[in-house]
Chains A and B, each alone.
Chain A
Amino acid sequence: MDTRDTPEQAELRRAARRLVRELAPATVADLDDATRAKRLAVAVADAGWLELRSDGGGGEPLASGVETAIVADALGGAVADVAFAGPVLAADLARRAGCEAAGGDGGTVVAFDRALTAPAVVAGPATASELFAVDAGDDATAALVLVPDGSGHRLAQVPLARAEPSVEGRGTDLTRAVQNVPPGTAVHRVPGGRPLGADDLAAFTALGLALTSADLVGVMRGVLDLTVAYAAERRQYGVPIGSFQAVQHLLAEAHCLMEGSLSVALHASWAVDDLAPGEALAASRVAKAYCTRAARTVCETAIQVHGGIGNTWEHVAHVYLRRALLSSEWFGDDGVQLRALEAGRLGAGGGG
């Protein structure tokens, strides 16, 4: 047992944080800078990060859940407005189904039903309800859905309309787009491949939970760095507000929550490829439940410590909170995870 980064993992962690520090938005105004955002998207693609879960030979992914989560953590930490987990998860699903054509280039993501907890399952030739393509970048043209096939599922896809490029046109999260797929959209089977079984979907879900947990850890670290610096600088009563115990204790608590979250999220990212699918899924549910509750508290603390300015649209603090809200809901929030863990550990529920 040795939970430290390997030298390669440590280098990836440094490189990823360096890259996003240079190109990610530092202010809300930066979100409107399309040139910068495009450079960030190109840098992420050039780094090969969108292909981390594509077939690296023999059906194995190019990189493990650990490396993939390291990138997710770095992007969350800088509220990087670039698609990553969406295309990477599509590539992972396509690899598991043996459909090499789909995913890996940013053009394909995964469509979810309204709950955002699992890939949408579509039985007919067209979608029956509204679907949501999460983390679909400007280049995204299609989203994967599942079609029942015997005891498993096969892959199909739905086309995506061109994304609306303005900040205001995005959803809650100002850094990652959620594109709506209207009911009645035609569904096209993805040719080739094999049916996805329960284990495939469990492992895929474990990756989704590990990546959203890693993103939340990054968001917590990023917003805390920002907030601790502000508390040391902002003066009231002639002294920095960070010298007051009332403020110190809020920040200390938030820092501990971030550390605990890192410990569970690292394990979940390792579990994706190194534990059996059911165990990996349980590990990732533990991580997501913890990280979701922690991130909510940490982001709320950040806004509180920023005071009035933290409640303005112009200040970047809410960009972190908004990103945390999407990462929390995507693949299910703490309540969803706790109920799933209960069902697995305690059996069927009893009275109300």
Chain B
Amino acid sequence: MDYRDSPEEAAFRARLRAWVAENNPGLPPSSTDDEYWARQAEWHTALYDAGFFGLSWPKRYGGHELPPVFDVILDEELAAAGAPPRPSLGYLVQGITVHGSDEIKDRFLPGMISGRERWCQGFSEPDAGSDLAALRTTAVRDGDDFVIEGHKIWTSYSDVADWCFLLARTDPDVPKHRGLSAFAVSMHQPGVEQRPLRMINGITSEFGQVLFDGARVPAANMIGEPGEGWRIAMTIVSHEREPGELGYVARYTKTVKELERVLRADAAAYRSDQREAVAWAHVQTEMLRLHVCRRLSERLDGVEHGPGGSIDKLLMTWVEQAVGAAALTVAGPAAATDAEDVGLKIYLYGRAQSVMGGTSQIQKNIVATRILGLPTA
């Protein structure tokens, strides 16, 4: 057991630290400001071009084939410098890597990893949330294409996406989990309408819905086999539940550091319960950082990710909401009178964490039945 950097890790950290010091774009927090999302693509490509993104992914697609723990170093250094977190798209990369053909991987992974092609994930629908397999968007074969009809919602980054990783029903005559297929659908075509959604904290640039009305996708853009959609979706959501894949530790650490700075700047102005809330947010954030170290180290054994991602998702959710609670507590009465208060916005944004990527209730079902082995009703 050793938490220290190896010589290779230390050299990487030093190189990264020097680069971030020069290239930190100083964006506002992702959770509170539309400006972050407007400039996120720029940050993604800068990070990629400097050789600091896609660290554990295959070189063939623009990655670096480094051990997964290098992502811990990336998250730590970005947080320490107050830089934006790394883009959270590892779960889509994993979906294509695990299920895509060589042609699909060659066509889509380089652009996805480099950030030159932007993606959104078209899974949830107005009537298919937790019960995702009930989704009703259809893809009907028409010559060399499929034609898409349907309505996707809670679609992050849909406003800037070039491509949608779409889950649609290709066979209505088989049980619901078996009739789904996955596609890479261009967002730049007639029959695709993107509508932004305003989140509860007021930001409008992250969240959206997408209406497909006669949009077309070449059959060659099917990811995996016909009917493989459910398995692909499960690969993606299980990775989407892993903080090691998302890089959120950097975001939480950055917020806690900012709250600590506020408290240090005017110590006499804050009560002991406000100080304790921030100290607890620090404890929670450290827990998640160390938990990610442990999980990514376990991957050196070739440990397959599985239902364990649900444990990590719940831990991550509690951390995000503890950090949000600390931000709200530090804001005090300002949060109740100023709709633009940053603490208020961080707190409100955190409510989504127990819903996105599968609700906390779904995660607990998974932990109880698949990890603890409790009987199903």
Contacts and interface: CB of A to CB of B under 8 A. Distances in A.
Contacts of B193: none
Interface in B340-374: 361, 363-365, 367-369, 371-374
A58 interface: no
A119 interface: no
B280 interface: yes
Interface stretch (B53-61, B105-113, B122-130, B286-294): B286-294
A57 interface: no
Given A248-B368, A255-B371, A260-B291, A4 B298 contact: yes
B1 A3 contact: yes
B262 to A, nearest CB: 10
B364 A248 contact: yes
B297 A1 contact: yes
A242 B278 CA distance: 36
Contacts of A249: 361, 364-365, 368
Given A1-B2, A66-B1, A260-B315, A338 B280 contact: yes
B373 A290 contact: no
Contacts of B275: 342, 346, 349-350
A253 B264 contact: no
A286 B283 contact: yes
Contact of B311 (A242, A255, A264): A255
Contacts of A4: 1, 297-298, 300-301
Interface in A1-39: 1-6, 9
B286 A286 contact: yes
B365 A248 contact: yes
Contacts of A286: 282-283, 286-287
Interface stretch (A106-114, A181-189, A266-274): A266-274
Interface string A156-188: 000000000000000000000000000000000
B6 interface: yes
A342 B260 CA distance: 9
Interface string B260-271: 100110111111
Nearest to A242: B374
Contacts of B5: 1
Contacts of B298: 4
A240 B300 CA distance: 38
Interface residues of B, number: 57
Contact of B3 (A256, A270, A338): A270
Contacts of B286: 264, 286
A293 to B, nearest CB: 8
Contact of A252 (B294, B297, B372): B372
In this complex, the interface size class of chain A, counting residues with CB under 8 Å from chain B, is: 35 or more
Nearest to A261: B287
A228 B270 contact: no
Nearest to A275: B3
A256 B260 contact: no
B336 to A, nearest CB: 20
A289 B270 contact: no
A3 B6 CA distance: 12
24 contacts: A1-B3, A1-B72, A1-B293, A2-B2, A4-B300, A5-B1, A231-B374, A243-B374, A245-B361, A247-B374, A248-B372, A248-B374, A249-B361, A256-B314, A263-B291, A264-B286, A266-B294, A267-B3, A289-B283, A346-B275, A349-B275, A350-B267, A350-B268, A351-B270
Given A4-B301, A256-B311, 12 more contacts: A1-B4, A1-B6, A3-B297, A249-B361, A263-B293, A263-B294, A267-B3, A342-B279, A348-B267, A351-B269, A351-B270, A352-B271
Interface of A: 1-6, 9, 66, 228, 231-232, 239-240, 242-245, 247-249, 251-253, 255-256, 259-260, 262-264, 266-267, 270-271, 274, 286, 289-290, 335, 337-339, 341-342, 345-352
Interface of B: 1-6, 9, 69, 72-73, 260, 263-264, 266-272, 275-276, 278-280, 282-284, 286-288, 290-291, 293-294, 297-298, 300-301, 311, 314-315, 318, 361, 363-365, 367-369, 371-377
